[in-house]
Amino acid sequence: MSEPAAHSPLVQLRDVTRSFPGPPEVQALKAVNLTVDAGDYVTIVGPSGSGKSTMLNILGLLDRPSVGEYRLAGEITGSLSEDERAAVRARFIGFVFQSFHLMPRRSVLDNVLMPMLYSGVPRKERETRAREALDRVGLNHRVDFFPQSLSGGERQRVAVARAVVSGPRLLLADEPTGNLDQRTSGEVMNLFEELNDEGLTLVIITHDDGVARRARRRVRITDGRLEEL
């Protein structure tokens, strides 16, 4: 996947519908249009069942539209094979989830090393980059710890380090503060915003209006339909 042209959005959904067979058929997304430029900070807010997770899966190349077109860095993704989609995900997109998705029997350092096995980072660079990413999130003193010995906020910061260690251009976060208290949520959001200030494109899916209002752009999804706020 090439660098987007200066005039080309990083993310572009055109009339995207995602249907699931019934009976009755369910349209989780309905003729959605969304443009995200490089460096944008966007939150997508909506209640449970509104289509937020389906949207994340489409943006992250974990699912395909039933109808419509998804362009990433100006390139149409619909014709990519599953292997090609996996390769684009590994090199281009970072993910952060509500439940952290860390490997419990691996150290913090090993958890952050893992994505670089698939993203093309040369072997000799991996440990240095992993330690730099953990230092970036304030956890260089926890590299040998295991996830279960960390607080929720520390686990989420490990997840952020893992998401950014391969140098993605797009970071997708799904309810990243959902398991955190208010103070820790603020710390994690500050970290996301520092990364965005450094040029990382950030799309956060949330049901929390307080989180949503921090972004420069807010989009609401209701019953599968999108509106810019």
Q: Is 172 inside any structural domain?
A: yes
Placement of tokens 């330690």 in the chain: 131
- Domain encompassing residue 212: 39-52+86-228
Q: Is the pLDDT reported for residue 6 higher than 80? A: no
Q: How far is 106 from 215, CA to CA, in rounded Å?
A: 34
Which residue from 58, 64, 105, 66 is spatially nearest to 81, judged by alpha carbons?
64
What CATH number does residue 205 fall under?
Answer: 3.40.50.300
pTM above threshold 0.85: yes
Q: Is 151 inside any structural domain?
A: yes
Q: Is 136 inside any structural domain?
A: yes
Q: Is 22 inside any structural domain?
A: no
| pLDDT classification of 22: cutoffs 50, 70, 90 | confident
pLDDT digits (tens, 9 = 90+) for 136-169: 999 999 999 999 999 999 999 999 999 999 999 9
Quick one: tokens of 126?
């991996």
Q: How far is 179 from 176, CA to CA, in rounded Å?
A: 8
Q: Is the pLDDT reported for residue 64 higher than 90? A: yes
Percent of the chain beyond pLDDT 70? 97
State residue 205's pLDDT score.
93
pLDDT digits (tens, 9 = 90+) for 65-109: 999 999 999 999 999 999 999 999 988 999 998 888 999 999 999
Q: How many domains does the chain have?
A: 1
